[in-house]
Copies of this chain bind each other. A is one copy, B any other.
Amino acid sequence: MRIAILAHEKFPHRAKTGLGVLRYTDDEVVAVLDRDNAGRRVAEFVPDVQDAPIVESMADIVGRDHGRGQNQDQYRNRDIDALLIGISPIGGAFDESWRADVRTALEAGCDVISGLHYFLGEDEEFAALADEHGCEIRDVREPPAGLSVSEGIADEVSAEVVLTVGTDCSVGKLTTTMELARAAGEAGHDAAVIPTGQTGIMIEGWGNPIDRVVSDFTAGAVEEMILEKGDEHDYLFVEGQGSIVHPAYSGVTAGILHGSMPDRLVLCHAAGTEVIHGYESFDLPPIEAYVERYESFAQPVHETEVVAGALNTAHLESDADARAALDEFATAIDAPATDVVRFGADEILDTVI
């Protein structure tokens, strides 16, 4: 597939979904839409992901006259297959400033892939346009039917289950999950990812959007995936969500922690972060307290242990500074730690699997 990623005014660091897709998708990213950075390239901001031009709007990609006359629509359709919404504001609402881009995409016959809580397929204008132009709107945050409550049996699968947990949202749980699974695969193990959020689902092409399921089914929706995959692989790397101390999302975190019954935890953190992102009146507890918090919360359902840490050091310029931050983090959690992007997941793989 050839895709465009919408990330207006948020690229790169507040476009978590877009960046995750750029890093891990097998699809070709034709362009990133960001009206604040039009004319530049992805590689200028993030060197270690797929590069692509940054454009102002969808019209810049599909709207130009390719000089093909009546075949223009057909050309456009081959030119780009889908527009992917690569940002998600708190609450998952749709920003009306994106409407023209979605409209242009659908009119050009592009599918639209979204992980917003606001389902684009239920938007009257978009639904009508998709129908008219024969394209598809995929709301990946729409949970499948048939989910139910957990039975508390995820530990019955043969695979070892590794869950990423975090000090906050947006600290690298998806990235750590993907890098660990890749490293385990490269080391000759049969490892699979259990996607629990929009970005993981977009990358892997399947999964349950846990933060969107009925809250009673939070643990059950994770358990269902573990039971489905757990006897086919040696290791399952479960994408964690939120944080156990988050004022809004702790319920999702708690459900995943109990529902997945993980054998091991990897604690993810962004170096230097001291307050909850978007909830700045809430301080993060000391790093060392998170280990006890996660292990103790999990214990009545399934004993588990924080065996390693993953620290995002992207904003530290020198590798030496990153190493110093890693040392401090590893000491705090009393376990080995790495930056899975900067130094690779191999540094902690042995303790994780």
B-binding residues in A (CB < 8 A) = 90-93, 117, 148-152, 210-220, 244-255, 258-259, 279, 281-285, 293, 296-297, 300-301
Contacts and interface: CB of A to CB of B under 8 A. Distances in A.
Nearest to A256: B251
B245 A220 contact: no
Contact of A254 (B216, B220, B254): B254
Given A255-B250, A301-B282, A214 B214 contact: yes
Contact of A251 (B148, B251, B284, B285): B251
Contacts of A244: 254, 297
Specify which of A117, A215, A216, A297 lies most central, judged by the most chain B CB atoms within 10 Å of its CB. Answer: A215
Contacts of A284: 300
Contacts of A252: 215-216, 218, 251
A111 B248 CA distance: 36
Contact of A258 (B214, B246, B255): B246
Contacts of A211: 214-216
Contacts of A210: 215
Contacts of A219: 247-251
Specify which of A149, A212, A220, A246 lies most central, judged by the most chain B CB atoms within 10 Å of its CB. Answer: A149
Contacts of A251: 215, 218-219, 251-255, 258
Contact of A249 (B91, B92, B149, B300): B149
